[in-house]
Structure 1
Amino acid sequence: MKFYWGVVQSAFQFEMGDPYRRNIDPRSDWWYWVRDPYNIKNDLVSGDLPEEGINNYELYEIDHRLAKELGLNAYQLTIEWSRIFPCPTFNVEVEFERDGYGLIKKVKIEKEHLEELDKLANQKEVRHYLNVLRNLKKLGFTTFVTLNHQTNPIWIHDPIETRGNFQKARARGWVDERTIIEFAKYAAYVAWKFDNYVDYWSTFDEPMVTAELGYLAPYVGWPPGILNPSAAKKVIINQIVAHARAYDSIKKFSSKPVGVILNIIPAYPLDPNDSKSVRAAENYDLFHNRLFLEAVNRGNVDLDITGEYTKIPHIKRNDWIGNNYYTREVVKYVEPKYEELPLITFVGVEGYGYSGNPNSLSPDNNPTSDFGWEVFPQGLYDSTLEAAEYNKEVFITENGIADSKDILRPRYIIDHVNEVKKLIENGIKVGGYFHWALTDNYEWAMGFKIRFGLYEVDLITKERIPRRRSVEIYKKIVMEGIE
């Protein structure tokens, strides 16, 4: 079986930064979010702006060449919804059907609908992505393309208006069911336009983040930055349905595999001998990992998000699973926090996983990154083992570390790739490993402070400067391969 070695980029985090501002994308929710005065004043966002970024939009050929020089054979990227459709597509009306639970079970998209959408699409951006994909194919890369990597068009989701008046906001993103219809139309259009240059499709990248950070953690700087458990519940179910309907839309115009990329996070009880601590870890897994895994791979939908499944065959739509792994969670039990989400009986323990202090040690003496994330390679093994339960092709679609001085990254790469080797040696079919990231990027609310790149980027000159130890180690690993 061919093994794919790659790197990953998303559109919003990498594309912008040309000196003449010709290629900015001012039509996404995150564009508005990161420049909102309230967010900046209250330190919810860094104040850094994406238009100061690394300019992959113009310099993609350089980045592709760097990836090729590493010996990579795969490249993962996002097509930005707001670039393709900067203005609403509501007027291209399509029929849809519901099931007995009220869920959308079918969206009827025909060729004439795509021709109407083509008139609304920004053809400059369509040509740009065609050029990017053609260049990747010319260099021999297998391409993995994601449709939604956290960002949405502003006409789908206006985070400032949603935060200000949730009930009356006109564009509430994944809270509103109409987003499922529009996403299915977008998926069909993109498959129709780009399929010749795509090998693997993904509907979403880390969809649970949208619900968890946007609607349950208003202090972390993720749009729309509200605490609304009922909305979080709707977002989760609507995204699950949207994946299934986008899957059907893509499959109508493409024969390529369609999957979903999840950040599968293994949760360990703080005290494995304490039954409540164990239950907290189990509930974390049910909520964060299993909601999507069970729904799209087995048709087991947790409609009320209580741990009880309903079999809904039209949701069972998935060909492969992407696992984005960075670190683990260590959790302890708390009494149920939200009546609407009784599974949330857990809280992360400070110092472990995502809750560490930057550039220090966790309570287990594991180093932490510039982000404060604990280095815990075993979690890659455990999380991928969970994905493998569903008998689908599994890829490590993101793995990397925020390490501007390149102190921890070389060892991080070696140790995490060794976990991939162990999985394969133990009979688990892992199809590839993608490092996050080839270059530094715009790290959402944290801006340019956090550096994940194998290549540092000078934000003035846009020069790509190798972090030599990591570049050399990843190249050596790629060249030697995995047996």
Structure 2
Amino acid sequence: MEFYWGVVQSAFQFEMGDPYRRNLDTRSDWWHWVRDPYNIKNELVSGDLPEEGINNYELYEIDHRLAKELGLNAYQLTIEWSRIFPCPTYSVEVEVERDGYGFIKSVKIRKEHLEKLDELANKREVRHYENVLKNLKKLNFTTFVTLNHQTNPIWLHDPIEVRVNIEKARARGWVDERAIVEFSKFAAYVAWKFDKYVDFWATFDEPMVTAELGYLAPYVGWPPGILNPKAAKSVIMHQIIAHARAYDSIKKFSDKPVGVILNIIPAYPLNPRDSKHVKAAENYDLFHNRLFLEAVNKGKLDIDINGEYVKVPHLKRNDWIGNNYYTREVVKYVEPKYKELPLVTFVGVEGYGYSANPNSISPDNNPTSDFGWEVYPKGLYDSTAEAYEYSEMVFITENGIADSKDILRPRYIVDHVKEVKRLRENGINVLGYFHWALTDNYEWAMGFKIRFGLYEVDPITKERIPRRKSVETYKKVVKEGIE
């Protein structure tokens, strides 16, 4: 298999921004979340709005050409659920089978269900994604398509309702297991419609983020912005099951590899000679990384989230693993925080990893990004080696840095690609590297403040302006190859 060099985009973060507001997606949970007055007033979100974005919806041919000029041979994108199905799909009833634990073991989707879903689908959006994928194939890109990159239809998840009263909310997202069934139907429909243009499927991108930031860290601006460990546990379990059932749905209409994209974060103890800190790092790994890895690759589920597993064979559904790596975590021990999540005995140490100060130096003398993320290339090696324990088909599906002045990015690219080479030299056959991102984008709650792009985007004209050092660096790295 050839080595894949690519870039990544997600729908919500890149698509909107046309001057006439013709291509808005007003039916996603994030659309409502970022414009909520409470969130803006309390500075949980930036106040920037996605309709001021980079307009990839109309300008995708330009972006594809820029990627081609970099010498890339792969492109990763999301098909937005809320665009394909802006209104509920509950009326298309399917048969569900359960196992001895009560988990959904199968979702039986037949041709007549797809025909009914086709009646509900937004045909304009179906044609749009078909045109995007056709253009990528015309340019000879290998296509990686993700079905869920943090966003959900508002009819499935209304984060404002959930924040106000999770028990009475009508649309609770992944807290409710009906999301598993609806996602399975979406996966089947998308595979049925687009398979001939797709080379690799991914179910989720960073599913643990949904649980960790949405239900355990209400101060970070992630929907629904509540502290509810019980709900967090439900979200994790339902997404694991949803991955397996979506895998089955896709495989009915596709023989392409189906995987999951995780942000595998290596955790290091603050003091490696302190047994409690070591335990904290171990528990972080079990919670954040291995809950999904064990379930979807081995059929072993940690039902009580305490490090003990039961066999659930119907969850073993995975062909490849994507690793999104940006930085590490350095952790110390804290007493168990939540009875529902016994593994959570850790906290990130300020100054390191994701907990550093922007544009500073970490205690280990590593620079930090505009986002306050520590530059730590070795973590890419460690996290990807962990992924390889579970699958021989592993890709670096995101790697990049928020660096508006383009000071750190060129070195960041080189140093992280060096780790990919070191992995391969040591027998860990990483198959691809995708840079986040080709262009600047809408960075969730942070809006347009955070710039990850190889290309800057003029907010008015939407012109793509190269950050020349980084563009030339990535181009050179790709040309030289991985060997």
Q: TM-score with structure 2 length normalisation?
A: 1.00
Q: Counterpart of 1:60 in structure 2: which amino acid?
A: Y
Inter-partner Cα distance in structure 2 for 1:430 and 1:343: 30
Inter-partner Cα distance in structure 2 for 1:175 and 1:183: 13
Q: Counterpart of 2:168 in structure 1: which amino acid?
A: K
Inter-partner Cα distance in structure 2 for 1:305 and 1:390: 19
* CA deviation string 1:266-302 (max 9, x = no partner): 0000000000000000000000000000000000101
1:190 to partner: Cα distance: 0.1
Structure 2 counterparts to residues 60-139 of structure 1, below 5 A:
60-139=60-139
The SS at the match of 2:26 is coil
1:153 to partner: Cα distance: 0.1
Per the alignment, residue 408 of structure 1 pairs with: 408
Q: Counterpart of 1:164 in structure 2: which amino acid?
A: V
1:391 to partner: Cα distance: 2.9
Per the alignment, residue 7 of structure 1 pairs with: 7
Inter-partner Cα distance in structure 2 for 1:452 and 1:76: 16
Q: Counterpart of 1:212 in structure 2: which amino acid?
A: E
Inter-partner Cα distance in structure 1 for 2:255 and 2:20: 40
Per the alignment, residue 439 of structure 1 pairs with: 439
Cα RMSD of the aligned pairs, angstroms, is 0.4
Inter-partner Cα distance in structure 2 for 1:51 and 1:233: 33
Per the alignment, residue 38 of structure 2 pairs with: 38
Inter-partner Cα distance in structure 2 for 1:335 and 1:24: 46
CA contact (8 A) 2:352 2:362 kept: yes
Per the alignment, residue 160 of structure 1 pairs with: 160
Q: Counterpart of 1:77 in structure 2: which amino acid?
A: L
* CA deviation string 1:350-390 (max 9, x = no partner): 00000000000000010000000000000000000000001
Match status 1:269 vs 2:269:
yes
Per the alignment, residue 236 of structure 1 pairs with: 236
Per the alignment, residue 347 of structure 1 pairs with: 347
Structure 2 counterparts to residues 138-149 of structure 1, below 5 A:
138-149=138-149
Per the alignment, residue 451 of structure 2 pairs with: 451
Inter-partner Cα distance in structure 1 for 2:392 and 2:55: 35
Structure 2 counterparts to residues 311-330 of structure 1, below 5 A:
311-330=311-330
Q: Counterpart of 2:460 in structure 1: which amino acid?
A: I
Per the alignment, residue 430 of structure 2 pairs with: 430
CA contact (8 A) 2:319 2:391 kept: no
Inter-partner Cα distance in structure 1 for 2:321 and 2:293: 9
Q: Counterpart of 1:156 in structure 2: which amino acid?
A: L
1:429 to partner: Cα distance: 1.1
* CA deviation string 1:86-106 (max 9, x = no partner): 000000000010000000000
CA contact (8 A) 2:403 2:409 kept: yes
The SS at the match of 1:253 is coil
Structure 2 counterparts to residues 268-287 of structure 1, below 5 A:
268-287=268-287
Uncovered stretches (5+) of structure 1, i.e. residues with no partner: none
Q: Counterpart of 1:391 in structure 2: which amino acid?
A: S
Inter-partner Cα distance in structure 1 for 2:113 and 2:354: 44
Per the alignment, residue 397 of structure 1 pairs with: 397
Inter-partner Cα distance in structure 2 for 1:165 and 1:275: 40
Stretches (4+) displaced over 3 A: none
Inter-partner Cα distance in structure 2 for 1:129 and 1:253: 18
Q: Counterpart of 1:449 in structure 2: which amino acid?
A: K
CA contact (8 A) 2:7 2:76 kept: yes
Inter-partner Cα distance in structure 2 for 1:391 and 1:75: 22
Inter-partner Cα distance in structure 1 for 2:409 and 2:123: 40
Match status 1:463 vs 2:463:
yes
CA contact (8 A) 2:191 2:253 kept: yes
Per the alignment, residue 215 of structure 1 pairs with: 215
Uncovered stretches (5+) of structure 2, i.e. residues with no partner: none
Q: Counterpart of 2:73 in structure 1: which amino acid?
A: N
The SS at the match of 2:387 is helix
Inter-partner Cα distance in structure 2 for 1:85 and 1:342: 37
Per the alignment, residue 52 of structure 2 pairs with: 52
* CA deviation string 1:377-426 (max 9, x = no partner): 00000000000001330000000000000000000000000000000011
Q: Counterpart of 2:21 in structure 1: which amino acid?
A: R
The SS at the match of 1:411 is helix
The number of residue pairs the alignment matches comes to 483
CA contact (8 A) 2:244 2:314 kept: yes
Inter-partner Cα distance in structure 2 for 1:399 and 1:333: 28
Inter-partner Cα distance in structure 2 for 1:33 and 1:363: 35
Q: Counterpart of 1:419 in structure 2: which amino acid?
A: E
The SS at the match of 2:431 is strand
Inter-partner Cα distance in structure 2 for 1:474 and 1:29: 34
* CA deviation string 1:328-371 (max 9, x = no partner): 00000000011111100000000000000000000001000000
